[in-house]
Amino acid sequence: MLTGAKWIWEENNRSDNDWVYFRKNFKVEKEGDYILSISADTRYFLYINQNLCVLDGGLFRDAYGENSGYADKVAITDFIKAGVNVMEILVWHYGNGGRNNVPLKSAGLIFACEELALYSDSATKCLRHPCYFETDKAEPSYLYGGFNIGYNANYRINDEMLKDAVEYCWEDFGSLYERPVPLFSFSPVISAEYRKSDGRYVLKLPTALHVMAYMEVEAEGNETIEIRNDRYTVNGGPGDEMNQYAGHMTEYICQKGYNQYLNYDYMACEELHFYIPDSVSIIRLGYRICEYDTKLMGVMHTDNEEVNTLMKKCARTLKFCMRDNFMDCPDRERGQWIGDVSVQAPQIFYTLDRNAVLLLKKAIHNFISLRKGDCLVGNVPGIHSSELPSQSLNAISELGMISVYYEFTGDREILEMAFEPMVRYLRLWDMNEEGIVESRTGDWYWFDHLYNQDKIVLENTWYYMALSFAKRVGECLSRLEYHDFLTNRMASMEQKFEEHFWKGNYYGVGEIVDERANALAVLSGLAKREHYEDIKKILITTYNCTPYMEVYVSEALFKMGYTRSAFRRIMNRYMPLIQNENATLWEDFAILGTRNHAWSGGPMTLFYRYLAGVKIDCGEKVVYLCPDFTIIREQKYSMQVAGGILQVEMICEENVLQIKIDNKTPYQVRIEKINLPEGMEEDILRQLPMVF
């Protein structure tokens, strides 16, 4: 992929927050399809013949093991011409790490296009960019990498300043793998209206976006402009809400006269804030959208406007939390908490295109490949990786991201990669003399934020569901060497769970009545059906959990058949988030941590799964629909299934049921069952087609 190329940089490639400009001329003698392979630590910006080709290139390390990274493949055919071409690359080396990146102390760039004999080497010209400087403002939070940007427009690059690049040793940069996800998409510069408020110019975005700020101004010279956003400081999560975490900001020093500037650092926000002195005249303020390249399909629309708002916010939250990896919150820490990804996973298949699935596959590879011995950890890649046993168990459970990925793709290769590490992780637990699981605290014995957590019951139910999925995977792959281990442990827990934890009207270990624990008892299948009425009373009256566990509590109500109670609980809990001004869903229902959080989008999964009744069978190549019209009377949505588009429109009103299904997928669509409103004649079902 990069044979013949050398890692290059300016003299001294060991400085943090280093910006280096590269230029290479090359000749094109014949037409063809040309691909440039390129990797840089940490981010790069590629121009050919002064045309922007890549905005924010590169993916954070590590890839498939320690000291490993990614190489991008860039189609450059549309940017080149016959004769001499000029390639320019600006590279920003972080040198520090965070919750989604591992730092490489050696800065470097490498590129190659064999068909054009175009390689990085000492003949490449370069210069440490004179405009960039380190600001004296407080540095961003340790939670994610990178630095504030300082840019002084009074400096210039001219040809006489350029020097030959220095070649560096391959071993400093480890192994490279082809980028498994698409390059980030970017828009043209978008001009936007703004208002002045409290000494700043506020530019409101149409929704929550990843953007790079842009401005054109006229200045007297040496004025300082600061660029921030509405998420510059963000509160910690529940239990940590008194602390604040700072994001990135930019300090721009104007040259005399006309200034044009694109800020090469994305901000995840709903507003951009420009602090501009009065002596500076604004010509234009705007931004480029720069985000993960995936498209929202037709998000579910119903006859209930509050549901519609919730679905839109779920969808926007999902996309907002995607970039190099799935992020819990791109405005505070950007960590790939693996329990959060398990909440996000079903939403991907319901509302996004296939590009999004590639990021989920990458998340699974990160989780399995970057484990610590037999320990499966979260927040990988990143320097703050840690084992939260409940989240790791979630990821490998019947409810988790690997199970969901396989359900919707049928990709056995993922199962083959994950099976052995899953079982080895499950072997880290011991069973006690009573036949239940001995607790493992890991790095953080966490099951949810906030109150009244029954951690013993929660750990046992998560563990049981992980055993169950591992057993199913082993049978699917005909890997039966661990069958007895998995089966015997499941049998022991099935036998002892009721005896050990049922307290007469709830599952627990003491006097704490935890809706989370009782919900997982239902979802795991360990709860007895005769207890459902007692469990229902708990789930409709107890509100301890955050949105992370709310999805499982509400799903347990659906699972037990209490559809109306499940719907009522979701709408009651989410109403403050539906009604607030933000385009995304908060981290909690009442405590303002982040204004968007990956774990909060669970209602989307539940409404598609139980109200639209969507189920995919990759083996049979069938999409099953079991719509429920007892609560909502109208369902419209689009999904991408196996590369094709499925559009569904169903309206149930005045004893008339209209069904329109446009199936352009390779799968058959079958309507298995329809739940009609009370009093509606079921005879109308006989007149409708059930297979599409």
> Which string of DSSP letters, residue by residue, matches 630-651?
TT-SEEEEEEEETTEEEEEEEE
- What mean pLDDT comes out for the span 511-540? 98
Tell me the C-alpha distance between 489 and 423, whole Å: 12
Using DSSP, state whether 652 is helix, strand or coil.
strand
Give me the chain's average pLDDT, please. 96
Element (H, E) at 356: helix 354-369
- What mean pLDDT comes out for the span 331-360? 97
**What pLDDT, on a 0 to 100 scale, did the predictor assign at position 113?**
98
Using DSSP, state whether 120 is helix, strand or coil.
coil
224-229/250-253 β-pairing: antiparallel
Listed in sequence order, the DSSP H helices in 478-546 are 483-501, 515-524, 532-539
Tell me the C-alpha distance between 5 and 118, whole Å: 9
pLDDT tier for residue 506 given thresholds of 50, 70 and 90: very high
Q: Which residue has the higher pLDDT, 626 or 653?
A: 626
Share above pLDDT 70 across residues of the chain, in percent, rounded to a whole number: 100
**What pLDDT, on a 0 to 100 scale, did the predictor assign at position 72?**
98
- Nearest 5°: the CA angle 582, 586, 592 is 100
**What pLDDT, on a 0 to 100 scale, did the predictor assign at position 690?**
73
Where along the chain do its domains lie? 8-130+153-179, 190-292, 301-611, 634-691
Q: What is the signed CA dihedral for 265, 268, 271, 276, rounded to 10 degrees?
A: -20
Tokens of 635: 């369902």
pLDDT in tens, 174-232: 999 999 999 999 999 999 999 999 889 999 999 999 999 999 999 999 999 999 999 99
Q: In terms of CATH architecture, what is 190-292?
A: Sandwich (2.60)
pLDDT tier for residue 144 given thresholds of 50, 70 and 90: confident
pLDDT tier for residue 372 given thresholds of 50, 70 and 90: very high
- What mean pLDDT comes out for the span 306-320? 98
Among the listed residues 310, 309, 308, 315, the one whose alpha carbon sits nearest the alpha carbon of residue 294 = 315
Strands (E), 29-104: 35-41, 43-48, 51-57, 68-75, 83-93
83: exposed, middle or buried (Cβ count in 10 Å: 0-12, 13-18, 19+)? exposed
- What mean pLDDT comes out for the span 485-492? 98
Question: How far out from the chain centre does Cα 643 lie?
Answer: 21
- Token pair 């390249």 is found at 293
Output phi, psi for 23, to 5 deg.
-140, 140
**What pLDDT, on a 0 to 100 scale, did the predictor assign at position 46?**
99
Among the listed residues 64, 16, 66, 11, the one whose alpha carbon sits nearest the alpha carbon of residue 41 = 16
Describe the crossing of helices 401-409 and 412-426 by its angle, rounded to 10 degrees.
160
Fold of 8-130+153-179: Jelly Rolls (2.60.120)
- What mean pLDDT comes out for the span 626-634? 96
541: exposed, middle or buried (Cβ count in 10 Å: 0-12, 13-18, 19+)? exposed
Task: Decide whether 190-292 matches 301-611 in CATH topology.
Answer: no
Question: Residue 284 pairs with which residues in a beta bridge?
Answer: 216
For residue 374, whether the previous peptide bond is cis, meaning omega lies within 30 degrees of 0, is: no
Who contacts 148 (Cβ-Cβ below 8 Å, separation ≥6)?
134, 135, 137, 139, 140, 248, 249, 250, 251
For residue 381, whether the previous peptide bond is cis, meaning omega lies within 30 degrees of 0, is: yes
**What pLDDT, on a 0 to 100 scale, did the predictor assign at position 594?**
94
Tell me the C-alpha distance between 468 and 167, whole Å: 52
Who contacts 595 (Cβ-Cβ below 8 Å, separation ≥6)?
231, 234, 270, 331, 582, 584, 586, 587
Give Cα separations from 334 to 238, 315, 322, 375 (angstroms). 17, 18, 9, 22
- Give me the amino acid identity at 162: L
pLDDT tier for residue 31 given thresholds of 50, 70 and 90: confident
683 has pLDDT over 80: no
CATH number of 301-611: 1.50.10.10
492 has pLDDT over 80: yes
Tell me the C-alpha distance between 212 and 250, whole Å: 11
Describe the crossing of helices 305-320 and 563-579 by its angle, rounded to 10 degrees.
70
Output phi, psi for 285, to 5 deg.
-120, 145
- Token pair 């954070």 is found at 60
**What pLDDT, on a 0 to 100 scale, did the predictor assign at position 653?**
86
Burial 373-405 (b: 16+ CB within 10 A, else e): eebbbbbbbbbbbbbbbbbbbbbbbbbbbbbbb
Among the listed residues 366, 372, 365, the one whose alpha carbon sits nearest the alpha carbon of residue 413 = 365
- Token pair 């029954």 is found at 454
Tell me the Ramachandran region of residue 671: left when phi exceeds 0, alpha when psi lies from -120 to 50, beta otherwise. Answer: beta
117 has pLDDT over 90: yes
How many C-beta neighbours within 10 Å does residue 367 have? 24
Who contacts 313 (Cβ-Cβ below 8 Å, separation ≥6)?
577, 578, 582, 583, 584, 585
pLDDT in tens, 236-278: 988 888 899 999 999 999 999 999 999 999 999 999 999 999 9
Contact 486, 396 (CB under 8 A): no
**What pLDDT, on a 0 to 100 scale, did the predictor assign at position 601?**
98
- What mean pLDDT comes out for the span 383-402? 97
- Token pair 């099935």 is found at 494
**What pLDDT, on a 0 to 100 scale, did the predictor assign at position 681?**
72
- What mean pLDDT comes out for the span 589-613? 95
How many C-beta neighbours within 10 Å does residue 409 have? 18
